[in-house]
A and B are shown apart, each in its own frame.
Chain A
């Protein structure tokens, strides 16, 4: 290391001494110890830098900034609760009534005698409807689909790649990534009208077989637990669209 190189490195030495352990810096400092001219130069450099550091640290920061940042995060409402209480209570009553009716009239609900179909996709659909009814937390609440897709990618969750659901993107309001039966599921929520919310569940079919899923180019429209649903497969993924509120039909949105 020559003197000019040492000067360049020593010029990066912070006056608070935090760079003392840096190997290149140590070498330059050693050189300065044996070179009076370099030593004087470094001492003066540090003296000026130290004053400037002090002056920069005196730069006033707006008093309200910290409060604004913290308040701003609360407004972001990550993990915000998405659980309308009345709907939740109604759903609980409804589930209890249906459960009782299954016990009394098992044949009316399902030939197999089980309320939750054990058959792949039907089981998934049934559980996702229950999931919607019981309320859940959104991981991210934003209308920015790019941000929502990034969230899915970060969590190795499938991206929505459906022409049928493409026009819903403009209504995006938030998302959630989770696992069902050990498999990643993406959930995108859309506010299509002031009081109308739809939930789109997506699962990758490459990772599993889902019995009961409609054939390609077929959309299965069915009401499950008073929730209008639509199921289909597209580009190697299974899609399930569920209306949040009873009485809202999903068909017009496809």
Chain B
């Protein structure tokens, strides 16, 4: 039992943490949610008769814990990406490749909450769209449409971030250039 638990932690604590982080947006909350999920498994996991569903059970439990904690403590702000949608260029693969993991994760946490769960689970690649539907207790069709809209939002957010980063680099280069001119002048 002890070994089984340790092996389970080894296999899933990272994707669970990343999923928790995308939901809660805070490292400490994500760690708490992950711990709480494994605590539930330790105390109630034996209720699960079909052990092949452990992975889905863990993600479902974490999601429920998140929803429960949010109901208890706070409401997370709603980001209106739609307002700037028309101004944003589409993200290019090369553009995303240049970004660091932290920025991509940050963009993911800014996607509307209703799309964020399916989207993060999709990018973690541990669950199929059918398993995501089970884990989040949503119809398959809803998962599909939320993935589609969520991807759209995320790409716009990434494009906006990439644009801001580029502007910063250009502005820094301009400053350096200006300083050099002044110094020589």
Q: Do A and B bind each other?
A: yes
Which residues of chain A have a CB within 8 Å of any CB of chain B? 7-9, 11-12, 14-16, 18-19, 22, 44, 47-49, 51-53, 55-62, 65-66, 68-70, 72-73, 76, 78, 140, 142, 147, 150, 154
CB-contact partner of B147 in A11, A16, A78, under 8 A: A11
Chain A contacts of B120 at CB under 8 A? 56
In the complex, are the beta carbons of A59 and B102 less than 8 A apart?
yes
In the complex, are the beta carbons of B123 and A52 less than 8 A apart?
yes
Interface size class of B (residues with CB under 8 A): 35 or more
In the complex, are the beta carbons of A52 and B43 less than 8 A apart?
no
In the complex, are the beta carbons of B18 and A61 less than 8 A apart?
yes
- Assuming A61-B14, A61-B18, A65-B13, is B144 touching A11 (CB within 8 A)? yes
Closest 9 CB pairs of A and B: A58-B101, A12-B129, A55-B104, A51-B96, A56-B123, A47-B93, A59-B105, A55-B101, A14-B125
Chain A contacts of B122 at CB under 8 A? 12, 14, 49
In the complex, are the beta carbons of B31 and A55 less than 8 A apart?
no
- Report B92-111 CB contacts with A as 1/0, cut-off 8 Å: 01001101111011001000
CB-contact partner of A69 in B38, B93, B154, B158, under 8 A: B38
In the complex, are the beta carbons of A8 and B145 less than 8 A apart?
yes
Chain B contacts of A16 at CB under 8 A? 125
In the complex, are the beta carbons of A65 and B97 less than 8 A apart?
no
Chain A contacts of B143 at CB under 8 A? 12
Binding-face segment, B3-11, B64-72, B164-172, B175-183: B3-11
CB-contact partner of B35 in A14, A22, A69, under 8 A: A69
Minimum C-beta distance from B136 to chain A (A):
13
- Assuming A48-B96, A66-B10, A76-B43, is B101 touching A56 (CB within 8 A)? yes
CB-contact partner of A78 in B6, B38, B42, B93, under 8 A: B42
- Assuming A61-B13, A61-B14, A73-B42, is B128 touching A55 (CB within 8 A)? no
> Which residues of B in the span 1-28 have a Cβ within 8 Å of any Cβ on A?
5-6, 9-10, 13-14, 17-18, 21, 27
Q: Which residue of B lies closest to A59 (CB)?
A: B105
Chain B contacts of A59 at CB under 8 A? 18, 21, 101-102, 105
> Which residues of B in the span 113-143 have a Cβ within 8 Å of any Cβ on A?
120, 122-125, 128-130, 143
In the complex, are the beta carbons of B43 and A78 less than 8 A apart?
yes
In the complex, are the beta carbons of B13 and A66 less than 8 A apart?
yes
Main secondary structure of the interface of A (DSSP, over half): helix
Minimum C-beta distance from A138 to chain B (A):
13
CB-contact partner of A65 in B34, B91, B100, B148, under 8 A: B34
Minimum C-beta distance from A157 to chain B (A):
14
- Assuming A8-B145, A56-B104, A59-B102, is B6 touching A70 (CB within 8 A)? yes
Main secondary structure of the interface of B (DSSP, over half): helix
In the complex, are the beta carbons of B18 and A56 less than 8 A apart?
yes
Chain B contacts of A61 at CB under 8 A? 13-14, 17-18
In the complex, are the beta carbons of A65 and B31 less than 8 A apart?
yes
Chain A contacts of B27 at CB under 8 A? 62
- Assuming A22-B128, A69-B38, is B147 touching A12 (CB within 8 A)? yes
In the complex, are the beta carbons of A68 and B147 less than 8 A apart?
no
Interface check B151, CB cutoff 8 A: yes
In the complex, are the beta carbons of B31 and A18 less than 8 A apart?
no
- Assuming A52-B154, A65-B17, is B125 touching A18 (CB within 8 A)? yes
In the complex, are the beta carbons of B104 and A52 less than 8 A apart?
yes
Minimum C-beta distance from A201 to chain B (A):
22
Task: Tell me the bound Cα distance from A4 to B21 in angstroms.
Answer: 32
